[in-house]
Chain A
Amino acid sequence: MKICVLVKEVPDAAVQKRIDTGSMRLDRSGENNLNPFDTHAIEAAMQLKEGGDLQVDEVVAVTMGPGSAQRALQKAVALGADRSVHLSDDALLGSDVCATGLALAKVLESEAPDVVLLGQQSDDGECYTIGAVVADHLKMPSLTQVVKMDVEDGKLRCERQAEYGYDTVALTLPAVISVGDAINEPRYPSLKAIMGAKKKPLDTKSTGDVGIEAGQVGEAGSQTTVIALNPPPEKQAGEIIEDEDTAETVEKIVAWLDERKLI
C-alpha cells in the first residue's frame, strides 16, 4: 500500500509575507520552509505505517513548485517519507486553486496512491480547499479537517468538527484526507534522518510527464483573476502594554476595565 503526502513550500513564519504588485502573486524571494500544517500530515502517514493496521509499503512526499521546493521535500523525507516527487514546470506559474488541484491530481494519478494525506491549509494561500479538489479529480472519497483517524476493517474511521459538533465518517480506500493540526504532535527529525534525506530518491517531473496539457494549468488554466489589491479598512490600533512589572501591568488592566465599567 502506498501513502502520498502533499506538501508545500511556503514563506517562513518569520517572513513578512507580501504580494508582488506587478505579478499579483506572493513574493517568494525570502526564506522558505515546509508548510507547518503539512508536518501533521506526514506524522499521520508515519503513524499509519507504524501502526500496522494497514500494510504500508512506502510514504511518498509530493509537491508542486519551483526548484527551491525540493527543500520542503527533503524536510518531508527527514520526517519519515521514503522518497519524493517534485512536479516542476514554468507552465505551472500563476496557477489558481482550480489549476493547482488539477496539476496535483495528475501527478498523484501517476503514483496511484491508496491514501492521500495533506495539511488542512497552507500557511500562505490559506485556501483549505485543495484536498477536496484533488479528491474529485481522482474520483476518491474525501474528508477535510480530520482530527482523529483510525483503521477499522480496512477503512479509515475519521472524526472532525463540522457545523453542529463532531462527525464520525468511515471512508473506503483509496481516499483523500486533509488533517487538522490537532490530529497529532509531529516528531522532530533525527540528525541522521536530516543527513540522509538528500540521499533518498527524488523524481522531478514536468507537466508533460504526468499528462497535463498546455492550457490546463498556470495562468492559462486558472479560472480566477486578481483584479486589485486593497488595504483592509482602517482599524484604530489598540493600546499595548509590555509586562515588565506584573503588579503595575495588572493595575493598568484593572484601570482600563474600570474606565469602561466592565468590572
Chain B
Amino acid sequence: MAGILVYALHDDEGNFNKNSLGALSEASKLAGELGTEAAAVIVGDISDEGAAGLGNYGVTKVYRAKNVTEGLAQPIVDVMAKVITENGFTYALFGGGLLGFEIGAGLTARLGAGVTMEVTKVKVDGGKLISERPILQDSQIADVGYVSEPGIIIGRLNAFDTKETGGTAEIVDVDVELSEWSTKAELITRGEQRGADIDIEAADVLIGGGRGLGSAEGFDGAQALADSFDNSAVAATRAVVDAGWWPYAGQIGQTGKTVAPKLYLAVGVSGAIQHKVGMQNSENIVAINKDPNAPIFEFSDLGIVGDLNKIMPKLTEAIKAKKG
C-alpha cells in the first residue's frame, strides 16, 4: 500500500503533542487527496484507548511499539524505518518540534530518502506531495518535490491545524529490535522545568526579552515595563533561557510556548525563525532593537531602531503616566 506515516509525540503522562496532532490531521487530508490512508506511529506505554483515540484526527491505523522509550530519536528511527519498509509507506510526516527533526534526519540516512524541513504547507500535484519550504530567513519559498519514495516532511511549528473527525483507529502492535547504536544514548531525565513557573499564555501584553537585554539583570527593566501594563508578563527567547536569564516556563518558540497576545513588545530580540513561529500571530507586534537589520523588523507593526537601555525606562514611565 501507499500511505503517509506520522510520528505522534507524547509527554510522560501520555498526552499527545499539539503539533503532532496537527500533522495527523494534515496527513489524513493529504491521504484523502492522494486516494490513500494516513497512519500514526507511537512508542511507549500508551493505553489502547489513547492509541485508538488518534483516529479522531483522521488516521485509520496506529502502529504502537510498546517496548521503545519515548523521548530519544534513534530508537524511533528504528521503529519508523521498519513500519515504512514493511508496509510501503510513501511519505513520513512530522509536526513542528525538535524530535521530529532528529527522527526525520535519521530516516533520511537509513532509507536514502529525500527530506525537507521547516515546511509550512504541503500540496498534492500529479499524485505526489510537494512541500513549501521557506528559505533564507523566509525571504523565499521553495517548492520541493521528492525524487524517490519515501519522502520525509518535517513541518514548521504550528504549520498544521488539528481537525477532529470523531473516528477511532485500529491498533497494530509492532515488535522492533533496536539498532546497537540506538541503545547507546540513555535518557536520564526528561522535561525538567527550570526556574519559576510563570504564565505567559494568559497575558494580554507580553514583553519579549532577548539577548539584547545583555544580562539576567536586564530583565528587571523588562519586568518593570511589563508591570506598567495590565494583565502582562515577560517572555523570552530560547538563547536567554538557555543562558539562565529567564525561566523556561516563559520561553516562546520551537521548544517553548506559542502565544498570541494583544500586544507583543520585543526588547532586544533579533527575531530568529524559531522565535517568530511562536509569536507571529500576536495582534500587534512592536520591536525595539539597535540593529536596523534585525529580522524582527520584517514582521513588526512598529519597529524602533535604538538603544533599549535608553528607551525602555522612559517608555515605562510614560505608560505609567498615561494610565495616571
With A and B bound together, what is the CA distance between A166 and B242 in angstroms?
10
- Smallest beta-carbon distance A175→chain B, Å: 7
- B141–A229 CB distance below 8 A: yes
CB proximity to A under 8 Å, residues B166-205: 179-182, 184-194, 205
Choose one: B98, B145, B299; the contact of A227 (CB below 8 Å): B145
Also in contact, A168 and B117, with CB within 8 A (given A180-B242, A227-B130, A232-B140): no
B311 and A243 within 8 A (CB): yes
Asked if A162 contacts B109 (CB within 8 A), the reply is no
- The residue of chain B having its C-beta at the shortest distance from the C-beta of A17 within the complex is B136
Contact A230 B304 (CB under 8 A): no
Instruction: Find chain A residues with CB under 8 A from B304 CB.
Output: 240-241, 243, 249, 253
Please pick, from A18, A135, A168, A249, the residue contacting B189 in the complex, using a CB distance under 8 A. A168
Query: In the complex, are the beta carbons of A242 and B305 less than 8 A apart?
Result: yes
- Picked from A224, A228, A231, A253, the residue with its CB within 8 Å of the CB of B116 is A224
Q: Which of A24, A131, A143, A238 has the most CB of B within 10 A?
A: A238
**B191 touches which one: A145, A162, A222, A246 (CB < 8 A)?**
A162
Q: Let me know if B314 and A246 touch, CB within 8 A.
A: yes
- Complex Cα distance A163/B255, Å? 5
**A254–B147 touching, CB < 8 Å:** no
CB distance B99 to A162 under 8 Å?
yes
Please report the C-alpha to C-alpha distance between residue A251 and residue B140 in the assembled complex, in whole angstroms. 36
Q: Are B109 and A136 in contact (CB under 8 A)?
A: yes
Known: A163-B97, A235-B298. 18 other contacts (CB 8 A): A102-B109, A129-B115, A147-B242, A161-B241, A165-B192, A165-B193, A167-B191, A167-B192, A172-B185, A223-B151, A230-B140, A231-B140, A240-B303, A253-B304, A253-B315, A254-B318, A260-B284, A263-B229
Chain B nearest Cβ from A222, distance in angstroms: 7
Report if A132 contacts B (CB, 8 A).
yes
- We find that the number of chain B residues with CB closer than 8 angstroms to chain A is 98
Is A93 close to B, CB under 8 A? no
Interface residue tally on A, bucketed by range: 35 or more
Q: Which residues does chain A contribute within 8 Å of B17, judged by CB atoms?
A: 163
A109 to B105 alpha-carbon distance, docked (Å): 19
Check if B147 sits within 8 Å of A171, measured CB to CB: no
Chain A residues lying within 8 Å of B307, measured Cβ to Cβ, are 243
- Whether B303 contacts A239 by the Cβ 8 Å rule is yes
B311/A168 in contact, CB under 8 A: no
Considering the chains assembled together, what is the distance between the CA atoms of A166 and B299 in angstroms? Answer: 29
- Which residues of chain A have C-beta atoms less than 8 A from B137's C-beta? 17
- Min CB distance, A99 to chain B, in Å? 9
Binds A, one of B23-31, B58-66, B70-78, B214-222: B70-78
CB distance from B155 to the nearest CB of A (A): 13
Q: How far is the CA of A165 from the CA of B11 in the complex (A)?
A: 10
> Is there a chain B Cβ closer than 8 Å to A144's Cβ?
yes
A143 and B185 contacting across the interface, CB-CB below 8 Å:
yes
Which residue of the partner chain, among A17, A96, A241, A246, contacts B305 with CB atoms under 8 Å? Answer: A241
Q: How far is the CA of A163 from the CA of B229 in the complex (A)?
A: 30
Most chain A CB inside 10 Å of its own CB: which residue of B104, B117, B242, B315? B242
- A sample of 26 cross-chain residue pairs with beta-carbon separation below 8 angstroms, ordered by A number, consists of A17-B137, A97-B115, A98-B112, A133-B106, A133-B108, A134-B109, A137-B109, A139-B181, A145-B255, A147-B242, A161-B241, A163-B9, A163-B17, A164-B12, A166-B248, A168-B189, A172-B185, A224-B115, A224-B116, A227-B143, A229-B143, A243-B304, A243-B306, A250-B314, A253-B286, A262-B262
A97 partner, pick from B108, B140, B194, B239, beta carbons under 8 A = B108
| The residue from A136, A147, A169 contacting B77, defined by CB atoms under 8 A apart | A136
178-197 of chain A: CB within 8 A of chain B: 180-182
> Using Cβ atoms and an 8 Å threshold, which residues of chain B touch A126?
118, 135, 273
Q: Are B303 and A238 in contact (CB-based, < 8 A)? A: yes
Whether B113 is near chain A, meaning CB under 8 Å from some CB there, is: yes
Shortest distance in angstroms between B196's beta carbon and chain A's nearest beta carbon? 13
A227 to B105, CA, bound (A): 21
Known pairs A239-B302, A241-B302; A226 contacts B144 (CB<8 A): yes
Residue B164 interfacial (CB < 8 Å)? no
Chain B nearest CB, measured from A17 CB (Å): 5
Question: Which residue on B lies nearest to A148, using beta carbons?
Answer: B242
